[in-house]
Structure formats: C-alpha cells, structure tokens
Structure 1
Amino acid sequence: MQRTTAFERGRPPARTVTQALATSRPSVFWLDGLHRVDHRPLVGGRAADLVVVGGGYAGLWTAIRAKERDPSRQVVLLEAHEVGWAASGRNGGFCEASLTHGEENGRQRWPDELDQLDRLGRENLDGIEETVRRYGMDVEFERTGQLSVAVEPHQLAWIEADDGFLDRAAVRAEVNSPSYLGGLWSRHDAALVNPGRLALELARVADELGVVIHEHSEVQAIEGGGPVTVTTARGWVKARSVALATNVFRSLLRRNRLLTVPVYDYAIVTEPLEAAQLASIGWSNRQGVADLANQFHYYRLTADNRILFGGYDAIYHYGGKVRAGYEERPASYRRLAEHFFATFPQLDGLRFSHRWAGAIDTCTRFCAFYGLARAGLVAYAAGFTGLGVGATRFAADVMLDLLAGEETARTSLRMVRERPLPFPPEPAAALGIAVTKWSLDRADHNEGRRNAVLRSLDALGLGFDS
C-alpha cells in the first residue's frame, strides 16, 4: 500500500495557499534592486592570454583565480547576457564544502578518494570565505552550517549514527516544525550567501584585478589551434587558451552535448517575518535546511528574515531546451506553497512576495565533470547539478591547472579525470527521466524502498536528482 508523505498529511487549506501566492510576482528576489555595472559588448578584435566563456560563478572564479595566479595575464570574459543572470543569480545561496553532491554520492563513486575530496572541499570553502573577507565582498556570507531534517520515520535510520544527530526535541529547538522527527547539523561544512550579490561582487573583483568583461557577447564559435579564435556576432578574440563555463547552456564542444540536461528548479520567498512569526519557528542559528526525501526541499532565512523555500519539483522539458517560458509554472509554485505551510503551519497568513525558476545543469553523476579539448587549449567544467555555488571555485582551479599542464592534487583525482555517462538522445532521454522521477516519488511514498528501475540505475552509475 502506498503511504502518504508528511507534506500530504499536513496539507493546508486551499485558501491558505491561494491567498499566500496571490500577491507574489514573477521576479528573482536576489536580483531585485541590485546596482549593476554595465560591461559593453565585444566589438571588433583583440588579443588575450585567456578567454573565459560564461559570466556565472564558474567563469567569474576562473577569471579571478587566473589573475591571482598571474596578475600580468590578459584575461577576457565573454557573457551572452548579463553577469549572474542565470543559475548563479537564481539559486538558494547554499555554499557547501562538498564537491561530490554529498558524502553518499562520493562514497559510491570514488570511495578511495573520499577523504581527499572532503579535505579539498573544506579547503575550497575556507578559500571562498577568505576571498570574501580579503576583498571586502558584500555578499551576506554566513557560515551557519546546514541542518538535514528527517520528516519520515524511515529517514531517521540514515542519520541516527552520525555525529551531530539531533533527536526530535533537539531539532525542533533549532527550527520548530511539527514535521521534524530528527536532524543532522553539519556545523562547519556549509555557508549561506546572497547569490545575486555574490555574482556581482565577483564581477567587481574581476574588474579591479584587470579582467575585461564583455556582456551581451554570445560566443558563436571557437576555431584554430594556437592561438584560438573565439568569435561573437560583432567581434573576436585571439587567445592562447579558453575556459568554457557555459554550464546548462548548449556546449560549444560537440563531445559534451549529451553529458548534461537542463532541469528546472522552482523557488518562492516570503515577505519579511514579523518578530512574533520568527519567534514561533525559532531558527536563531540561521542554518540552511534541507529535508531527506528523494524529492527534497531546501530553505533558509534571508538577511531581512524572509524564508526562501525551493526544490522538490525538477522539471525536464522534451528536447532539453532552456526557455524563459518554462519559468512560470503555477502547479510547481502552488505545490511549494502547500509544502511550506505543511512544514510551518504556525505561519498561516504569511504571503509570498517573489516566485521564480532556473535551469540546473544536471549530469548523470550529480557533480561537475572536467576536461580538455583542442589539443589542450580549451578546458571545460559543467554538470554541477545544483551544487555549484561552492564547487565552481574548485572547478576554476581545475580548469587552470589543466590548461597549465600541471599535475596537482586536483588533476590527479579520478573524479576529475573521469567523465560521466551521457544521457541518451530523445525520445529516450525524456522517457528515462520521467520513469526515474516517478520511481523516486514512489520511493518517497514507500519508506524509501527503491524499485527495480532505481536499483538498475544505481548499478549502472546513472541517476537523477531533484
């Protein structure tokens, strides 16, 4: 018999959800009101030592780390739209130490490297914190850790033996939700940031270090082999090397076009909580929170004490397109609102101010992959699968190591040397993703038991994550 989940058992009245969403607007909360520095499009030709393609976190970190390694290096960054407008400005702002999308995923794939990957991940997060401090970056950085919460009895077995386990009373003393049965507080391996501010502050630092940024300069082709010519609609750059940080968007390298698919993630954010509302949930330690379901939710407080609530739905559209029209999906926003009030029924009457979506570059191993092309002149990193806020800085260093031909602690990793299995072409991709999502939902309704589909994917090293 299929069981109900905590979110179904605690479903709020329909009017609560309707009223809460009635005044929300389709706008990315993190990007509202930010002062942007305009970077002119590339017009005409120029030369550079390094061209970085992509103005999200991965591209910006690559440009900054390149200049920090060699301040005399001429670095040009090309962005098709505006810095931070895509996933880098739309995520939940969870900046984690994990480079492998969690310990379990890393242990299954690279058990012999897990200790080293954990160490490198913590060093990477420390490096982000140090960079924020050194450059005076106004990004609302809070190293408060992350609380993983069990909302079903079977989920307790997954965390009870771990250091940092909190029983029901202890976890509700941290964040008061009647749905919580227990939790695990990872105190030092995660931080929170304001994603929009982080993108624009990285761009500011890059500008100050001498990186030349061109927005509205979509790259159309990469040609040649020493130097490489990178062309846009109105200009070109001849460069010694190129770093590709295009993530969810169609790869400029044919070999990588089946290695990622775009999966849409949805989020809502409340109005600022009043003092009594905040007191009713506690949350004085301001951790990021995620539940332990296959289709999980992530949520956190903002600097002005709103609650951002996202996740659960992971929507793939046939053909793997990235389109603005996919962002307005009423069913997903309504489901999130239902689950929000199932989690915090004491906040009945609170309204949501913003709703938005963004596309995640999902790959079959759940974490970024790396490599070289064009006789070692072009490096790439992609496939962060929703955990790129921290991992993009590590990816930047990997790409720079690879372009330099250096064997480092990073480039010697099997995790870096291996590529994920590709997704099949359509219609097999859409069918496979749909069946996998159905199976994950069924597992959440069946005490976590994985059916034959999920067990087969586990054996093959394939997967899908919400």
Structure 2
Amino acid sequence: MDSTLNAADPSALDPSRAGWTPGREGPTAHGSLYGGLSFWHETVGDLAPRAALDGDTQADVAIVGGGLTGLWTAWYLLERDPTLRIVVLEKEIAGFGASGRNGGWCSALFPRSTASLEKAHGRDAALAMRRAMIETVDEVGRMSKLIPCDYAKGGTIAYARSRVQERAARAEIVEAQRYGVDDLGWRGADAVHAAGALGAAFDRNCARIHPAKLVRGLAAALESRGVRVLEQTEVLRVDPGVVTTTRGLVRADKIVVATEGYTATLPQSHRRILPLYSLMIATEPLPDTFWDAIGIPHGATFTDYRHLLIYGQRTADNRFAFGGRGARYHWGSAIQPQYDRSPRVFEHLRRALVDLFPSAAEAAVTHRWGGPLGVPRDWHAAVTYDSATRIGRAGGYVGDGLSTTNLAGRTLADLLTDADTQLTRLPWVGHHSPSWEPEPLRFLGANAGMLAMTAADLEERVTRRPSVIAKVMGPLVGH
C-alpha cells in the first residue's frame, strides 16, 4: 500500500474497486503489488516475487505453503539434518497469507483453552501443551536475534470494562494459578487507562512482532542455507511422493502441507479448514506522550473481555495496529481479494478503538487490510504425520498462529526425522478434527456463530450478567 494514498478514498484502499489482483499487474510499493496487502507488507522492504518452479524436480522434503508453518518446518529440519534438499512451494509470495498480515501477537495462547484440553486429553497433557506454548514465545524471541522483526516481550493487557468482564478476568487468573501458571495477574483500575476499565488481567507471555519482517526474513535466511523457496507456483494436488503444480511436478520422499486458511482451496481438503476473515486498521504514528497517557509501553499488546474478539498492539513506530472479528464467512469457503476489505468492519474497528481510547479519536487511519485465518471444526489446532503416506500437516490456529507455527515447525521436524521427543508427545500431535459440514449448513452455522458472539456482548451489556449465549457457544469455540 502506497503511504501517499488518501485513506478517505475507498478505491485507494479497496483492491476490488481498484482492479487489484495480487502479483498480476503493474507495480506499487517496492516494485510489487504485494505492498498493498497490509501495513506490514508496505513496511517490510523488497516484495518482488522469487523465481517460480521451472519444470519437474526432486527433493527430500516438499513443503506446500510459504507461510510461517512451512518456513519454520524447513528451518528446524535443517537444524536436524543440514544435508536435506528442501523445496518450499508458494502460490504468491512467502508471507502472503495470515503469516504476513496478522495482529503481531506472539503469545502463549492456544485455540483450545487449557481446561478444554484437560477434559479431552488429561491434566498432564494439558499442562505440557501450556508449558510448550509459553516456551515457544521465548524461542521466537531467540530467533528474532537472527531475524530482526521488532520483537519486544511486553505482555498482554486484557481490559475488564464491566463487572461481568471483571469476573471473567479474575476467573481466568484463578484458572491459570490452578495450572501452576503464575504469569497472569490482576492490575487495578488505577494502573490501567482504557475508558471505563475496572482493571485488567496482565499476561507476561506475549511479545509484539512485525509479522511480515519475521516471515520474509525467515524465507531469506532459508534461501541462504540452500532451501529453494519457489514463489508464483500454485499447487493443484498432493499425493504420496508427488506434489502437482501448475509449473511441474515435485517428487519428494516426504511432504508437508502448511496452507492454513487456504487449505479450503485444495479440492482434497476443501472441508478440512474453514477460512474466516479477520480485518485490521493502523493509525498514523502517535507521540510518546500519547502512549504514556494511556499506559501502553513498547512491546505491549492489548484486548478486552468482549466475546467478538478485538486485538491490538503499539507498533515499533508508535502506531495502533488494531483488529478484530466481525467479517462474515463466504459461501463455499471462497477466498477472494475483495473480501480483505469491508468498510462496515473497518468502521466498527475504528469505533471500537476510540471507545477504548477516546484520545485516539483524531488519529488518522492510514491502513486497512484483512485476510483469512484457518478454523478447524472443533477449534483444535493439530500437527499430524502419516508414516505410510509420508505426508505431514499442521494448522487450525484460529488466529493464534504467530507463535503456534513455530511450535508446529519444531514438532513436524521431529516427526519427519522419526524423533521421539516431548514435542511429539504433546496432545495436539495426531489430533484429527471432524470435517466442516457441506453447504448450506457450513454457511449458516459459521455466520450464525458470528452473530451469536455479537448478541452475547449485547446480552451482557443489557443484563449485566454472564451471557447465556456465550455459555452455549463455549464448547463450540474451544472453551
């Protein structure tokens, strides 16, 4: 996105109105239309596509998807065996999808709660998963010394702005303590500065990141180690030992499928993952005095306890990067560039930001973007490897992927090299989620769920009691 564009001009920000098709016609930022994907892409540097596959080839490991899951898998595979011939296949450019467009939270959050994991897998397994996620935040921090990505571990401030939300926050803290996690604590109203906040839960296990710097830097680092990162190469199908693309066949002993929200575009896995859109805005840079007044230091991320999720961070250059759910699911799990932009949702996000921080009312919104994340039917992220077909998969992060992808990459590297480790014994390894329903049930259910979360927030505001709707929906969304 060209920073000289007028944010008040919808056609300047909406690719569907501007005739924008990724990687297909004239340049914008950095010599590539990919600069228009998000604020992160605009500010990451060169986005010119790498070379595509130029005919049939062979590899030890073929990785489908140039996002963080695939790239981390390649990185840790090389740590285990530097002689491996690895090919990464990407339809657009590395970091095109959620890996390059997300909210920049490297957190210890897992799509299913610890309590839910305990019910499904037992207490020891649930605790192991939680510890692994916490350790992953620091692992990404260690990697950020090699791949600069504005990593700053400032924690997450989760505001409680009603008595119902305060009870939910305090219950979350008590639950964390029950699992032996003492990194979650309460801050009183005098220590937080969001409008109407009665206090906030503070979780130390989260870092702010510039996601496009991480994913693009990781791709470049892999190339320097001999990995072939092939862009502009669309995968048509995956079979044992062979990946079929529009530009030739890749024969490989082992294959990893790491397509997250775009999994639905492959006919073989159309109902495995539901692509759900999350949208974001970014403001102009704001002075340090502004941030001091609202109590958000560098490295901090923030949210609150509403049911229709919001998330934000203070960027390295002092902007709000703020996002949330609310965009509808599209029939047939369709993914189109125009779905990245929804004026209704962008306006909802601007109002939500100003509602939290009224002093941000005059801040210009300079960037608007979005993209699909991947949602499994039971909201349970998973890593799998079939030793018979020699095909591995990972995904279903439901927006919690910036750290979870790293854990997935390390786990897949262990599985593909036949290592028996603590990671390969985690409860998400080998989990198989049920398929999503066929249409129209998928369309009706997904959008009804979104409406239910909106209704749950309204219910709590009116009744001042925990939402009955949210309680009914809880088991369906990982709680």
CA distance in structure 2 between the aligned counterparts of 1:127 and 1:421, rounded to whole angstroms: 31
CA distance in structure 2 between the aligned counterparts of 1:230 and 1:208, rounded to whole angstroms: 24
CA distance in structure 1 between the aligned counterparts of 2:350 and 2:303, rounded to whole angstroms: 16
CA distance in structure 2 between the aligned counterparts of 1:289 and 1:338, rounded to whole angstroms: 16
1:117 paired to 2:129: yes
Alpha-carbon shift at residue 396 of structure 1 (Å): 1.4
CA distance in structure 2 between the aligned counterparts of 1:241 and 1:180, rounded to whole angstroms: 51
User: Which residue of the partner structure matches residue 17 of structure 1?
Assistant: none
User: Match for 1:55: what amino acid?
Assistant: G
Match among 355, 364, 379 for residue 368 of structure 2: 355
CA distance in structure 2 between the aligned counterparts of 1:233 and 1:100, rounded to whole angstroms: 34
1:302 paired to 2:315: yes
1:40-94 Cα deviation digits (max 9, x unpaired)? 0001222211011100111111111111111011111111111101111110100
1:14-61 Cα deviation digits (max 9, x unpaired)? xxxxxx962685241000042236420001222211011100111111
CA distance in structure 2 between the aligned counterparts of 1:47 and 1:21, rounded to whole angstroms: 47
1:69 paired to 2:69: no
Gap runs ≥5 in structure 2:
1-5, 14-35, 174-183
User: Cα gap change, 1:291/1:391 in structure 2, threshold over 3 Å: closer, same or farther?
Assistant: same
CA distance in structure 1 between the aligned counterparts of 2:305 and 2:115, rounded to whole angstroms: 12
Pairing of 1:49-448 with structure 2 (within 5 A): 49-107=60-118, 109-112=120-123, 113-133=125-145, 135=146, 137-160=147-170, 162=173, 163-170=184-191, 172=192, 176-187=193-204, 189-223=205-239, 225=240, 228-250=241-263, 256-284=269-297, 286-373=299-386, 375-447=388-460
Judge conservation of contact 2:326–2:450 (CA < 8 Å) in 1: no
Aligned residues: 433
User: Cα gap change, 1:282/1:141 in structure 2, threshold over 3 Å: closer, same or farther?
Assistant: same
Alpha-carbon shift at residue 330 of structure 1 (Å): 0.7
Judge conservation of contact 1:437–1:464 (CA < 8 Å) in 2: no
User: Cα gap change, 1:45/1:343 in structure 2, threshold over 3 Å: closer, same or farther?
Assistant: same
User: Match for 2:190: what amino acid?
Assistant: A
Task: Compute the TM-score of the two structures, normalised by the length of structure 1.
Answer: 0.86
SS at match of 1:178: coil
CA distance in structure 2 between the aligned counterparts of 1:200 and 1:277, rounded to whole angstroms: 31
User: Which residue of the partner structure matches residue 26 of structure 2?
Assistant: none
SS at match of 2:322: strand
1:77-127 Cα deviation digits (max 9, x unpaired)? 111111101111110100012344554554454442221112211222222
CA distance in structure 2 between the aligned counterparts of 1:194 and 1:293, rounded to whole angstroms: 25
Residues 324-333 or 248-257, more deviating: 248-257
CA distance in structure 2 between the aligned counterparts of 1:249 and 1:64, rounded to whole angstroms: 22
SS at match of 1:44: coil
Judge conservation of contact 1:141–1:194 (CA < 8 Å) in 2: yes
Q: CA RMSD in A?
A: 2.4
1:155-207 Cα deviation digits (max 9, x unpaired)? 1112236251011112x2xxx222322111111x1111101101111111111
Task: Compute the TM-score of the two structures, normalised by the length of structure 2.
Answer: 0.84
CA distance in structure 2 between the aligned counterparts of 1:251 and 1:335, rounded to whole angstroms: 28
Gap runs ≥5 in structure 1:
1-19
User: Cα gap change, 1:268/1:464 in structure 2, threshold over 3 Å: closer, same or farther?
Assistant: farther
User: Which residue of the partner structure matches residue 15 of structure 1?
Assistant: none
Alpha-carbon shift at residue 262 of structure 1 (Å): 0.8
1:197-255 Cα deviation digits (max 9, x unpaired)? 011111111112211111001112234x4xx1222222222111001101111358766
CA distance in structure 1 between the aligned counterparts of 2:8 and 2:51, rounded to whole angstroms: 38
1:327-355 Cα deviation digits (max 9, x unpaired)? 22111111111111111112222110000
User: Match for 1:129: what amino acid?
Assistant: G
User: Match for 2:74: what amino acid?
Assistant: A
User: Which residue of the partner structure matches residue 8 of structure 2?
Assistant: 22
Match among 5, 18, 43 for residue 54 of structure 2: 43
CA distance in structure 1 between the aligned counterparts of 2:112 and 2:347, rounded to whole angstroms: 27
CA distance in structure 1 between the aligned counterparts of 2:331 and 2:264, rounded to whole angstroms: 18
Q: Which ranges of 4 or more aligned residues in structure 1 deviate by more than 6 Å?
A: 252-255
Alpha-carbon shift at residue 368 of structure 1 (Å): 1.7
Judge conservation of contact 1:360–1:385 (CA < 8 Å) in 2: yes
Residues 236-245 or 105-114, more deviating: 105-114
User: Cα gap change, 1:46/1:117 in structure 2, threshold over 3 Å: closer, same or farther?
Assistant: same
CA distance in structure 1 between the aligned counterparts of 2:223 and 2:436, rounded to whole angstroms: 38
CA distance in structure 2 between the aligned counterparts of 1:253 and 1:41, rounded to whole angstroms: 19
User: Cα gap change, 1:243/1:351 in structure 2, threshold over 3 Å: closer, same or farther?
Assistant: same
SS at match of 1:417: coil
CA distance in structure 1 between the aligned counterparts of 2:76 and 2:56, rounded to whole angstroms: 25
Alpha-carbon shift at residue 393 of structure 1 (Å): 1.2
Larger relative contact order (Cα-Cα within 8 Å, sequence gap ≥ 6): 1
Judge conservation of contact 2:126–2:427 (CA < 8 Å) in 1: no
Judge conservation of contact 2:380–2:428 (CA < 8 Å) in 1: no
Judge conservation of contact 2:288–2:318 (CA < 8 Å) in 1: no
